[in-house]
A and B are shown apart, each in its own frame.
Chain A
């Protein structure tokens, strides 16, 4: 089972249904052994991208390479890809062992060797002794592990998982996430993972591709995406954010001079790529980066709501311009609804991002 998998490369891969574009031409490189997560709202093209890689869909354009092999025209059965489906897609007329051994059986692996390898995978998945159980007698979490075992046993070059945990309850999901991470750390197979759940993405991934409207909006490490979002969509989708309209007057040395109507002032702020003078962009301020000042310096605001989250509290702050910001801080009982405060932030945490 030791096999880091192969690198994967997509070049201009797209998918159209009639006039509807489910995936715009997309380039993507995934290193051998990397864990990449596709994260995005419903309908953003995550499953489409996965199905194109697996060979269940034919691309409208582009090339797909696994290792040094061009697989663009190959049917799914010749790609040596493991897929875990959201619904698991376990074969209902087979036992656990038969499900897991299916990929070996169709490859003509001798019975004895197949049985040995099934037993090996069962123990890896902590499912010893379940080989002869009918699949329906397994719980949701167990079925999930059977589905993963069935995909892993063929030693795929790339492992694809489409929202594999969405059918599990929250507690179990957390446990399986850690399990997946352990498996990946031990066996490090090239993996592309689809989820709606950003926390899950943060726990598991080396890199995250944030998708929206058939396009990868940003691809990067967890830190990059959180600290330096490429646009307002990514900033709003990952984590909590305040996104204020900002009119860009000038750009110089990676910094934008922007009129921020919410603060009624013009500020010089670092800017993401793609921000251009004359454009209306967004100023991003994360809730945890807003500071309350004791002095009169900063932006005046009034606390309109406080929500205690335990150690942290979340404050809604109305500005004089009428805009409302969200701040999150260590709980301070002296801060109450109706109080006037002034706000400030470290300039390195403010960022102008393009609208989209």
Chain B
């Protein structure tokens, strides 16, 4: 990089900054928007206040949608982490050609258009009576989140030396003890990463949620989407800000966990 001429470096850095700004600024714009005093979104706000945050928390519908989202995301994450971790471990044991094929199946939810998945889930949820339920949405989101866990844990597993497993079992440890004391501690960063991606995938997912939400169990994104068609109030910006903050916090947690791990393995 340092070998490039100065003008090229400046041009390159400027282009990168512009692209980054283009990507990030519209998102960050909702943060000041949420502090509007007026009942209409002005940017920048003419006067600041936290009144819309109060409104958000007072409104039962907004509040329950937030709680629904947290519930759905938590349940989806827990199930995706357990199944995805097991799947990643199983995939690693398979022989080459089987592994490639079955991995593709597990990653399919990332590639299949979400709306297709949503329609399919809508139909099946009706059949099994899960339509409009928290559980139905959680399982739908779990399917979307699964690939992130399979990928993250799969990468972490590549760092687990087969000889550690052999050594541990030779020293008398059964398969479960080996997993708990050797494999698990070494793939924790991958599991945490997968969990964060899962949670965020579910928390801001709208298509599957719209199909499965029903009347009473709206998630936050569904509520935002509905509200924005009726009125354009700063409460929407409040909700969006909350989602951004949550995403940032989760990514920081993931970073912290993986950097801890790197320090300790240096």
Contact = CB atoms under 8 A, between A and B. Distances in A.
A154 B161 contact: no
B264 A93 contact: yes
A107 B171 CA distance: 9
Contacts of A87: 161, 163
Nearest to B185: A93
Interface string A6-17: 000000000000
Interface stretch (A58-66, A76-84, A286-294): A76-84
A91 B265 contact: no
What size tier do the contact residues of chain A reach?
20 to 34
A106 interface: yes
Contact of B167 (A55, A75, A79, A85): A85
Contacts, number: 66
B164 interface: yes
Nearest to A105: B181
Given A85-B163, A91-B182, A154 B266 contact: no
Contacts of B171: 77, 102-103, 106, 150-151, 154
B186 A81 contact: no
A55 B170 CA distance: 8
A113 to B, nearest CB: 16
A83 B173 contact: no
A134 interface: yes
B166 to A, nearest CB: 5
A30 to B, nearest CB: 18
A110 B34 CA distance: 59
Contact of B172 (A56, A77, A92): A77
Interface string B246-266: 000000000000000000111
A89 B164 CA distance: 5
B186 A76 contact: no
Interface in A24-83: 54-56, 75-77, 79-83
Q: Which among B169, B174, B177, B185 has the highest number of chain A CB atoms within 10 Å? A: B169
A83 B186 contact: no
Contacts of B168: 91, 102, 106
Contacts of B174: 77, 106
Given A85-B167, A89-B166, A93-B186, 10 more contacts: A54-B166, A55-B170, A56-B166, A76-B166, A83-B166, A85-B166, A89-B164, A89-B167, A103-B172, A106-B174
Interface of B: 161, 163-164, 166-174, 177, 181-182, 185-186, 264-266
